[in-house]
Copies of this chain bind each other. A is one copy, B any other.
């Protein structure tokens, strides 16, 4: 094995024939494997299924003078708010505990901004000629899709190994039509990097022209190490407050990858002022979220330390899966120098940058061989990767053995598409 770039035409042709024949053999296996989404596997669900028996006595439903079974408590069960305040490092009064999906909480902030405006808005966002939103990319397709669906203009910001390119961000926020930014600050989706302290400091100290600029801080992987110890992370609410813009940030988290993905607890943390404003709007929409499930989470997770213990159990399942992905890439692809990738220690993804112009083709080849992955381009605004290079690998769902098969196919596809490209086919 040697770098494709160092091969001459004849060597490339020979390699193409060999790889194509391996691809045909792989395709003939009739695989049906899915690495499309950061969906936990069965084993992870089973190891947290004590959730089902953690709250069985009606007497336990009374907590802090509240009966979790009945109506009320729009901002969520006080104990659930306190639990997440400890995990995120903010105050309980800054946390609001919602339903099962943090995505829905994010959507709701944007939707409320759109129709009614945010706390510091002069008017609803829908009344502006143009609303731009910063999208560090590669990033999370569902974030970008929310902004897109409201008709915002998505502005791509390059990602660096330390987070969004802050020179670019600081320049862009001088434009008053730029009203917010999407961030996944810890184990960024998909790169798996942690924003550096310097990046976070610069973000908190931004001085956007739009006074109702919304920093959408999706801390989805705040306790989601799969290798090594928990990495402490600064509280963005404090930092924004210290920087004099306490109302700029909306932080999100959920237990979707701590307890049950389909039946977890989602929270939002923001300034008390923002919260008071949003609760008034939210009070029109609902009487409250599922407090019985909030209580299950309080009893099951207990506190930050115990939550981290549970995350160790998830790590024992996820670690070998990520190792399989990274080791296969190291062995099969690294020597060829046709792709690059990060080595995350947490989160749910491996971000692979294939040879420019080959991502779509690679995933098409995978699909035809029965391996479904996130669509090429999905990690960029409007689903369009200008380099056609970034591929998000999601190793969590398949068992290790299936993952081994899927990665074999993926590596063959990467090679085949690179060879086709180099040979101008």
Contact = CB atoms under 8 A, between A and B. Distances in A.
A212 interface: no
Interface string A8-22: 000000000000000
A288 B262 CA distance: 7
Contacts of A42: 67
A264 to B, nearest CB: 8
A229 interface: no
B49 A260 contact: no
B290 A68 contact: no
* A-B interface, 3 closest residue pairs, ranked by CB to CB distance from nearest: A263-B292, A49-B58, A107-B285
Interface string A42-62: 100110010011011110010
Interface stretch (A98-106, A231-239, A414-422): A98-106
A1 interface: no
Given A69-B262, A263-B290, A284-B149, A52 B57 contact: yes
Contacts of A111: 111, 115
Contacts of A107: 284-286
Interface in A14-45: 37, 39-40, 42, 45
B52 A52 contact: no
Contacts of A276: none
A292 B293 CA distance: 10
A290 B99 CA distance: 8
Contact of A39 (B68, B70, B101, B292): B70
Interface string A259-288: 011110000000000000000010011111
Contact of A285 (B45, B46, B103, B126): B103
Contacts of A260: 69-70, 292
A293 B263 contact: yes
B49 A52 contact: no
Contacts of A287: 101, 103
Interface string A385-407: 00000000000000000000000
Contacts of A72: 39, 262
A311 to B, nearest CB: 17
Interface residues of A, number: 53
Interface string A135-146: 000000010011
A51 B58 CA distance: 10
Contact of A69 (B49, B68, B126): B49
Contacts of A293: 263, 290, 293
24 contacts: A39-B70, A39-B71, A39-B72, A42-B67, A45-B58, A46-B58, A49-B58, A52-B56, A71-B261, A71-B262, A99-B100, A101-B286, A101-B289, A107-B286, A111-B111, A114-B115, A115-B115, A115-B150, A116-B149, A145-B284, A146-B284, A262-B291, A290-B290, A293-B293
A317 to B, nearest CB: 14
Contacts of A114: 115
Contacts of A101: 286-289
A263 B68 contact: yes
A56 B58 contact: no
A68 B61 CA distance: 23
A318 to B, nearest CB: 15
B58 A52 contact: yes
Given A71-B39, A99-B290, A290-B290, A281 B149 contact: yes
